[in-house]
Chain A
Amino acid sequence: MTRKKSNPLLRTRRPLLPPGARSRSAHLLTAAAARGDFVLPCCAGCGRFLWPMAEGCPACLSEVGVKAAPQGARVISATTAEVPAAPYFRERAPWRVGLVQMEAGPQAVVHLHPAAQAGDKVVLRLVLDRAGQAVLNAGPEGGEMSDPQWQAMVADPRDRRVLITDARHVCALPLAQGLAKAGAVTIHCGLPEAWKPFPGRAALQAVPGVRIVPLDVISDRSVADAATDMAGRVEIVVNTADLPRPGGLLGPVAQVEARAMAETVQMGLLRLARAFGPALAGRGADGDKGGVAWVNVLSVFARAHPPGWAGYAAAHAAALALSHALRADLAAGGVRLVTVLTGPTEDGWFQTVDPPKVTARALADAILKALTNGLEEVAVGDVAKDLLARLEENPKAVERELAQGGLTG
């Protein structure tokens, strides 16, 4: 284990955040950064790119939106802030900043990779900082992970301890394998209903760092017991608790199953949040490898609700709604809540759903990428991406098409 143990005699550093105020328009950039898209403010009239965000185009006064832009830039000048004014940066000084000339046109002051010098070509990324606001980060192509400033903005599993809340989830094994490969030191995997057979036990236990622990998110006591052991000792929570049960509202077992799904997906998240959230948020600045992320693995049915999955969609929609409250609570500690919306997975419960379906490996890879790239909103699989795009475009059409038998349960 390479993780350094903390000194219990010293005060745990309290989380501070970088300056967080943004205009409403600037949250167009927040949305793009949350998805990992690179966009810049762009005038709807004259088409020129701008930086920073403006309420109107300085050239033609037209409305300003955002648009995908080239990520290349050249460093005009670089400097190192040894004693920054903002307490967040002062704690992390020296902090490297630079002025860059973007290929898209504007100039910007950016967070700069320590190796980049004036005149160097760099790649720009729009990333969410610890306050959850979009900022520009510049570095050499592929050089992000060697950049301590980038590391302060993303949720790298390296040297961190992770809790996967449901080891029975289809993605639990590849996720644990991916986390181990990414350098996570301990991967707690919660096992609900330990009295039922768990065929995946041997494969999961073979993953370095994996520790299978009893955890049933539908039990207050089980969650509380797990938190007693682990809440102060995990830096990333990946909530995989799920109970996919197909069926419409009028099916013979719909009511019983809807309650069971709500208990697992919605109330399970609530229990986990109450038990693990405070300690995770409180340890957001506990050394370089403090609490950093909470990932909710939810179904895209949280946003688009096929009638053939009535109870399941309702449970996930409720969890998505709850997750916004959790996001706000975790944000105080600079801990990111990541929403992963997946399409139907290669799981027996989605047997009757037409392909393409999301493989366990693809879902695990998407979760890992979200952590290492600092994302906040992730859609996994063609079905999820398509549904979300169509919802943006015409939500009523999505509703009608799903009502006509789309994604039959």
Chain B
Amino acid sequence: MSVLKALVQALGSGGVRVVDLTQTLSEDFPTIVLPPEFGPSAPVRIERISRYDAAGPAWYWNNLSFGEHTGTHFDAPAHWFTGRDRPLGTVDTLPVGHMVAPACVIDCSAGSAADDDFLLTREMVEAWEAEHGLVPDGAWVLMRSDWSKRTGADYANLRDDGAHTPGPDAGCIRWLVEERGILGFGTETIGTDAGQGGHFDPPFPAHHFLHGAGRYGLQCLTNLHLLPPVGAVLMTAPLKVHEGSGSPLRVLAMVEDNA
């Protein structure tokens, strides 16, 4: 039996489940906040054109507007200065083959529950590898923090000195990129970096190292607790925005029941 035929059968029988890792793209979902001297991202806005009413008696449709980095979204290499010269670095050019890839899920939920500024370190990943095997080349690494179970102010977790949300430390993300050849790094928080990542060396190390190496970011993911540590396959196709630095997207994971 062909691989695709077997996959379709497995999807039909429930042997392979599809898990939605996407937050609903809504107007009140927090977005990244930068110091006001920098240009802000437009928030998500949904403006009704008509809904079976005088503006369109039989049809319902909306105008959408949003920044490229709102909601559950994809960061392309061109998003960061380190990736500006990478070939195929924008969402309209990135290889479609990269849009279907395996995922490793590292459970940081206990640490994140205890410490808003929890950092994933290389040692923690190595401990994970001791149990589940090496992170394979070309895989997504997803940092499960259960942060997606928070909402509103608790989710953004902004204080006087900025956001306090978990993320990888600089050494960990550099090692994952350079030594494990990951395809990208995904989080449940607003950024691939920790909320205080701007104070790390280099600043925003996940952005710095991932995009500098032509790798990707996924953020504002949800339902990571429904994925196995290894074995899930992610489908991550951002909108084909002309020279886009990223885009909101629907992130789906295929999971085998016996995985």
Residues of A within 8 A of B (CB): 193-197, 214, 216, 218-222, 245, 252-253, 256-257, 259-260, 263
Contact = CB atoms under 8 A, between A and B. Distances in A.
Interface stretch (B124-132, B154-162, B246-254): B154-162
Given A194-B153, A197-B153, A222 B158 contact: no
Contacts of A197: 153, 158-159
B40 A256 contact: yes
B152 interface: yes
Contacts of A257: 39-40
Given A222-B28, A252-B39, A257-B40, A195 B156 contact: yes
A256 B27 CA distance: 18
B43 interface: yes
Given A195-B156, A220-B48, A253 B28 contact: no
A260 B42 contact: yes
A219 B45 contact: yes
A219 B27 contact: yes
A195 B43 contact: no
Contacts of B40: 253, 256-257, 260
B134 interface: no
A222 B30 CA distance: 15
Interface of B: 27-28, 30, 33, 36-40, 42-43, 45-48, 152-153, 155-156, 158-159
Nearest to A255: B39
Given A253-B39, A257-B39, A257-B40, A195 B30 contact: yes
Given A221-B27, A253-B38, 8 more contacts: A194-B152, A194-B153, A196-B158, A219-B27, A220-B45, A220-B48, A253-B39, A257-B40
B33 A219 contact: no
Contacts of B43: 218
Given A196-B33, A197-B158, A220-B48, A259 B42 contact: yes
A196 B156 contact: yes
6 contacts: A216-B27, A221-B27, A221-B46, A253-B38, A257-B40, A260-B40
A195 B153 CA distance: 4
Contacts of B158: 195-197
Top 5 A-B residue pairs of the complex, sorted by shortest distance between their CB atoms: A253-B39, A219-B27, A195-B152, A195-B30, A256-B39
Nearest to A199: B160
A338 to B, nearest CB: 28
B163 to A, nearest CB: 11
B242 to A, nearest CB: 18
A205 to B, nearest CB: 15
A196 B47 contact: no
Contacts of B38: 253
Contacts of A216: 27-28
A253 B34 CA distance: 13
Candidate in B28, B38, B48, B156 with the most chain A CB atoms within 10 angstroms = B28
Contact of A220 (B30, B46, B155): B46
A195 B39 contact: no
B219 to A, nearest CB: 16
A257 B38 CA distance: 10
A195 B42 CA distance: 16
Nearest to A198: B153
B27 A222 contact: yes
A197 B164 CA distance: 13
B62 to A, nearest CB: 9
A218 B43 CA distance: 9
A253 B38 CA distance: 7
Which one of A197, A245, A259 has the greatest number of beta carbons of chain B within 10 Å? A197
A200 to B, nearest CB: 14
A222 B26 CA distance: 11
A220 B27 CA distance: 9
Nearest to A224: B48
A196 B46 contact: no
Nearest to A197: B158
B144 to A, nearest CB: 22
A195 B28 contact: yes
Contacts of A252: 39
Nearest to A221: B27
Contacts of A193: 28
Nearest to B26: A221
B220 to A, nearest CB: 13
A219 to B, nearest CB: 4
Contacts of B37: 253
A195 B159 contact: no
Nearest to B63: A220
A241 to B, nearest CB: 15
A327 B122 CA distance: 64
B42 A196 contact: no
Contacts of A256: 39-40, 42
Contact of A218 (B30, B39, B45, B153): B45
A218 B28 CA distance: 11
Contacts of A260: 40, 42
Contacts of A219: 27-28, 45-46
A260 B28 CA distance: 16
Contacts of B155: 195
Contacts of A263: 45
Nearest to A260: B40
A407 B239 CA distance: 44
Contacts of A222: 27-28
Contacts of B28: 193-195, 214, 216, 219, 222
Nearest to A192: B28
A219 B27 CA distance: 7
Nearest to A245: B36
Contacts of A259: 42
